[in-house]
A and B are shown apart, each in its own frame.
Chain A
């Protein structure tokens, strides 16, 4: 963090959560958008992607010399699903092989929908955490009043 002045560390942590969940949402949207893509870069069918989260390293020490445990989450990698392509018999299709089969991505839109719901709920949970840290800060500011 370049900014030393961190009045709400919990909010920074939740912000990384929001970041990660929105990356996940992007990847899911890309999966749904490409559910029927036969010509992804490289000439093959599109392969389903998924994000892999990792806990951020809490190596930073704060001014008092205490180690900060909470550092948030980050997207470690956008990995490709290893499931094989679906073969669909479509003889006139420009991407068909000599037997008339087209390789289609094996994307289950229902599965993506469920993933999407998970991403939405996780995003909401992070938002709730942010709201709570904000409320706590406001309450602390009101101590003297």
Chain B
């Protein structure tokens, strides 16, 4: 599902905003030094890996490797919530971008 975002504007926006939004004091407080783009990319990757785990467990249930229905549903639920979180962040980003674009008449 997250492949959708690889080619959309999301990463481009992240790149643009990273130039302006990086707070100057972030380097001292944040343990993981990296641009906003990298943080965003790692979030997308994590969500992707959760989706893939859920996918693998569905496959495992279908092929008879595992018989734990609850394991599969919990993983699907987790992947769903992670995806919703990512979408929420994406929406905020797009909103911010559009508001900035509206500043010029």
Interface of A toward B, CB cutoff 8 Å: 3-5, 7-8, 11-12, 14-15, 18-19, 22, 63, 130, 134, 137-138, 141, 144
Contact = CB atoms under 8 A, between A and B. Distances in A.
Contacts of A14: 74
Contact of A137 (B68, B70, B81): B81
Given A18-B70, A19-B71, A5 B92 contact: no
Contact of B84 (A3, A63, A138): A138
Interface string B37-78: 000000000110110010000000000000010110010011
Interface of B: 31, 46-47, 49-50, 53, 68, 70-71, 74, 77-78, 81-82, 84-85, 88, 92
A8 B84 contact: no
Given A5-B49, A5-B50, A19-B68, 7 more contacts: A7-B81, A7-B85, A8-B81, A14-B74, A138-B84, A141-B84, A144-B92
A141 B88 CA distance: 7
Given A134-B81, A141-B84, A141-B88, A5 B74 contact: no
B11 to A, nearest CB: 19
Contacts of B88: 141, 144
A17 B82 CA distance: 22
Contacts of B82: 5, 7
B74 A130 contact: yes
B43 to A, nearest CB: 8
Contacts of A7: 78, 81-82, 85
Contacts of A8: 78, 81
A79 B82 CA distance: 39
A22 B68 CA distance: 9
28 contacts: A3-B53, A4-B46, A5-B46, A5-B47, A5-B49, A7-B78, A7-B82, A7-B85, A8-B78, A8-B81, A11-B74, A11-B77, A11-B78, A14-B74, A15-B70, A15-B71, A18-B70, A18-B74, A22-B68, A130-B74, A130-B77, A134-B77, A134-B81, A138-B84, A141-B84, A141-B85, A141-B88, A144-B88
